[in-house]
Amino acid sequence: MTNHRVLAVMGDETNGGFCKELAAHYTVECTYTLRPTLHKIKEFNPDLILIDYDANTPGKVRRITQAARAHYLKPFIILLKSGRAAPKDVSYYDEIVSKPFVFKKLKKTIEALIASRPEYVIQLAPYTLDRRTLVLDGPKGKVQLNPKMAKLMETLMLHAGEPVSQSTLMKNVWKVNRIQDIRTLHVHIHWLRKHIEENVSNPQVLKTVARNRGYTIDLPGQVTIGGEPLYLPSTA
């Protein structure tokens, strides 16, 4: 048995056998109603949550996935459901395992997700960004970024030493094909500089490219993918 923590949200206690099978491989808690589930997300701190989608109401599944998304560990979520069609009423999850399934298939999916966790971490000394928890670590310590700031930092880190145009940043971060509200980009660049620059008015890391062609992260070295996850438990 591994020490990975799995929270299984079942429809009723007739699924006790399934929970026992899970417990042979992971540290497991099984819940059946909403309030205990929300409590376990906070107190059990699961690495992964299994949700029997068919046995729970859409509203209940939404509440659970929202609580998971807000948790500082950002646990993986697997929906167990009939068919592989994406649910229309739930948007935050990682995988769907179709019913009926053999336990071996489910275990393979669980372990693939857990094994992928380090790939969310990108490093460009002296900065490390966890793209799942949105935590940035650098000379000023750890800070929780908002989603747009994290995506902005990720894009610039992956293109370190290269000019990244404003239009490219708007497309990658805000999903628009043209610059609409360029001030939004400028504001986020300013916020990001507060976390990585000694002097925001004289940036030495996140620089503006000449003739306003965009921005660049001016650091030596290469980006590496992989590392220990970054967390800020105090933000939970």
Among 196, 218, 188, 189, which residue's Cα sits nearest to residue 141?
Answer: 196
Q: Hey, how many other C-beta atoms are within 10 angstroms of the C-beta on 49? A: 28
Q: What is the pLDDT of residue 2?
A: 74
Domain with CATH 1.10.10.10 in the chain: 119-235
Confidence grade of residue 178 (pLDDT, cut at 50, 70, 90): low
pLDDT of res. 181? 75
Residue range 81-95: average pLDDT? 92
Confidence at residue 235, expressed as pLDDT on a 0 to 100 scale: 47
d(CA 27, CA 49): 12
The closest of 99, 53, 87, 49 to 69, measured between CA atoms, is 49
Instruction: Give the per-residue pLDDT at 194.
Output: 97
pLDDT at 180: 64
Q: Tell me the C-alpha to C-alpha distance, in Å, between residue 201 and each of 191, 192, 198, 208, 221.
A: 12, 12, 9, 11, 25
Number of C-beta neighbours around residue 198 at 10 A: 11
CATH of region 119-235, choose from 1.10.3720.10, 3.40.50.2300, 1.10.10.10, 3.40.50.300 = 1.10.10.10
Which residues lie across from 208 on neighbouring strands? 215
Beta-carbon contacts of residue 12 (< 8 Å; ≥ 6 apart): 32, 55
Closest by alpha carbon to 148, among 177, 178, 186? Answer: 186
Q: Taking residues 50-73, report their average pLDDT.
A: 96
Residue ranges matching CATH 3.40.50.2300 in the chain: 5-115
Q: What are phi and psi of 214, to 5 degrees?
A: 145, -150
Return the CATH architecture of domain 5-115.
3-Layer(aba) Sandwich (3.40)
Owner of token pair 């992928």: 116
What's the pLDDT band for 236 if we cut at 50, 70, 90? very low
Residues 95/114, Cβ–Cβ less than 8 Å = no
